[in-house]
Structure 1
Amino acid sequence: MESHPASPEAVQVLWDRGWTLWKEGRHGEALPLWQKALDGATEERSRARLLYWTARCHHEAGREEEVLLRHDELARLHPLSVYTLQAFSGESRPLSEELPPELSAGADDLERWGFVHYARLRHLRSGTDLGQYRAALLSSWLGDDRGAYVVAVGLQRFLVGEGPLPAPLLRLLYPRPYGKQVREAASRYGVDPFLVWSVMRQESAFDPEATSWVGAMGLMQLMPATAKEEARLLGVESDRFYDVGVNITLGTGHLARLLRRHHRLDWAVAAYNGGSGNVNRWLKGNEEAPQERWIEEIGFDETSDYARRVLANLALYRSLYAEN
């Protein structure tokens, strides 16, 4: 580890050692390990995690200036991370309807003349940031929320920095596609529609034809066995599991079942990815752990990261569309 202090493996070892000490209440001993890991970490998720937990160590020691320094870096460089949202109780920076200057020009001639499809194609081919933003905006206006999202993902660097977050760009990154189907299913099964979109965003990036390497299907990435069982339990007489309405209905019904079974949102979200049996195993001895600690204790890195991303999505959806 000493010869490769910046390797992902070394960062993970330092994290694990520090986490063991943190759980024992030895915060002062965890801090230098996590600080060393932070100095060598390059991956965004690792840096956000280490910034958050080193800030917690400094808070335990009463060093609030050090806490503020790390929270400032979280807000500037990792505004969409669940660690940033935890640090700031749900909103890292205020929202604004103003765009960065590079994205703020108005409609071009083709748009004003009503040739929206041609304008979108020209913007896409421009290769400029403004062109990509206008193309994403027109895709959204045309009802192609997935197309808008795919293009807008390339503009996420405009969220990095100081000052308010541009809400128009965030709405392209956190759209609400298939609104009728989502709201109907959410109302029927008592699930927050923002949770459905949060899962959909992480599972399929809003692609109704998505298929994972293990066979998960559609918008909500249902495994065949899960889809068949949910269809039976919900009385859905269809095996067209890629159909938008069917997939959303079954995925939302499955979420509702997991929420009833596991009682806590983070447990249910983890079960959607990792399975109820694994969640029950991870809960043993950890039933009283707060969300931020329990997620760190999840035994699968994939599920731990999944839970963080879905919960971050949910916080951002609720912040963006608070009036709804």
Structure 2
Amino acid sequence: MQKRLAVVSVFDKKGIERFAKGLKEAGFEIVSSGGTSRFLREKGIDVIEVSSLTGFPEMLGGRVKTLHPVVHAGILARRGLKQDMKALDDQGISPIDVVACNLYPFEETLLKEDVSLEKVVENIDIGGPTLVRSAAKNFEYVTVVVNPDRYDEVVEEIKQNGVVSREKRVALAVEAFEHVARYDAVIANYLRRRLTEEKFPRNLTLPFELIQKTRYGENPHQEGAVYRVVPVVDGATIINSRKLQGKELSYNNILDADCAVDCIREFSEPAAVIVKHATPCGIACAGNVLRAWEDAYETDTYSPFGGVVAFNREVGSDLAEILSRFFLEVVVAPSFSEKSL
């Protein structure tokens, strides 16, 4: 019986030991290289080096490892086409049924202080995205896993049924293409900002990641969710804020709170901003935020009901006690004193 192969090449080693052991128990041989190969061997798991499979050594300091026809023909061959399988047999190539791969940490590299361009460039993964795209393209026959949280369910299904269901292979392929698309978009946007003066590119691709689903959308019968651009930008935004107490925010809560935070950032002196339906209805500056709140509220004493208020100083217990008398959906501030909570 022809051996079953799985390529395992990951930067994030979370869960990979258990995953590899599960695949071995299901009858797979593991093909790996570089750091993943060393890691698995240290855990007592036998692996086939990619260079042994291809008959070609790693080169260029590891830049070229899996970029070889033996690897990609094994992944891309359509098992249902006789000519594809004959081509593999003619070249002595074994099909590869599982690919587990995640990529060099490009986003994490960008967060390092004073990171050099050379360091950034070396963290642009080439072989990994190519493996992922090949496996995702051939989802009819190949299982691709880019998310470590998926390892257990994939192994369990293989052990039970011998294969991963088509439905799950499709879902995993979509995840894989999303994974690579996000990766490439972050790279392109970063290099454009760092190396060119182009402000308005012909093609602008912005990757977003899900933060939370909202209780409902703009109206109660609609659905909604909150996404943020990656890599995450530091600064005072509602997306970067931490919820200290209360129910989950609705779509409109977030829109109003975002408007309030954008507005409050315009002021350096103690200030209060009240927003209702994405419209500021009371803004005031004063010697302290308590007085700023009083003045902002006097601007419109009706609209604050069910609204959002933002401050640019800490909310203390005195101000918190006053705010508790009103029905406010959200209160946003840089910090809250212990007694105010």
Please state which band the TM-score falls in when normalised by the shorter chain.
under 0.3
Bigger helix share: 1
Q: Whose relative contact order is higher, 1 or 2, with alpha carbons under 8 Å and at least 6 apart?
A: 1
TM-score normalised by the chain length of structure 1: 0.23
TM-score normalised by the chain length of structure 2: 0.22
Bigger strand share: 2
